[in-house]
Amino acid sequence: MNEDRSNWIEHLSNKVALNSSFEGKSPSLDRLRLAQVVMGQTGVLHVSLSFFELPPHSPKRWIENGNDCVQLRLSFYDLTKLIITGGAHEGNLEVSASFGLENEFRISSSQFNVELMYGYVKADLYPFNSKVFEEPLEWYRR
């Protein structure tokens, strides 16, 4: 997979909103906590990844509101390939994620891997305080 890891926000359909959240600087996707992988209706996959701390250039209002982490919620549409290998038997699995040049996305760890090809992807950000955060049962409300 030819990866462009440094500017992954450019792969998003709603990149303008996320670029402004991080002052145009994409945070690294190298060390994230896998929260959810949810297969939605045919051809849709939702992935929820949490940063262990707020990335550099995060909005000041997140800190002012008492948040110390942010969750990246990705929704992939029109899947043409999906491969899931391994399994996560314990919570808080640390993973790396990357976008490829031809609508490819990958999640990797020593225990669990996902590879997919998609038509388009959207992202949302959910800042939270890790001391009081509880994972929502169904965050993919679309």
For a pLDDT cut of 90, what percent of the chain falls above it? 53
List the domain boundaries for the chain.
Answer: 5-128
pLDDT tens-digit series, residues 49-72: 999 999 988 899 999 999 999 999
| pTM to 2 decimal places | 0.87
Token pair of 51, please?
């940063």
Please, are residues 53 and 28 in contact by the beta-carbon 8 Å criterion? no
Phi, psi of 25 (to 5 degrees): -115, 115
pLDDT band at 3 (very low <50, low <70, confident <90, very high): very low
pLDDT at position 23: 81
Please, are residues 127 and 70 in contact by the beta-carbon 8 Å criterion? yes
Where would I find the H helices in 1-142? 15-21, 60-64
Cα separations in angstroms, 25 against 21, 40, 78, 120: 9, 30, 27, 21
Please, are residues 140 and 46 in contact by the beta-carbon 8 Å criterion? yes
Q: Stretch 105-132: mean pLDDT, rounded?
A: 93
pLDDT band at 142 (very low <50, low <70, confident <90, very high): very low
Element (H, E) at 83: strand 81-86
pLDDT at residue 74 above 70? yes
> Measuring CA to CA, which residue among 94, 120, 97, 117 is closest to residue 107?
97
For a pLDDT cut of 70, what percent of the chain falls above it? 86
pLDDT band at 16 (very low <50, low <70, confident <90, very high): confident
pLDDT at residue 6 above 90? no
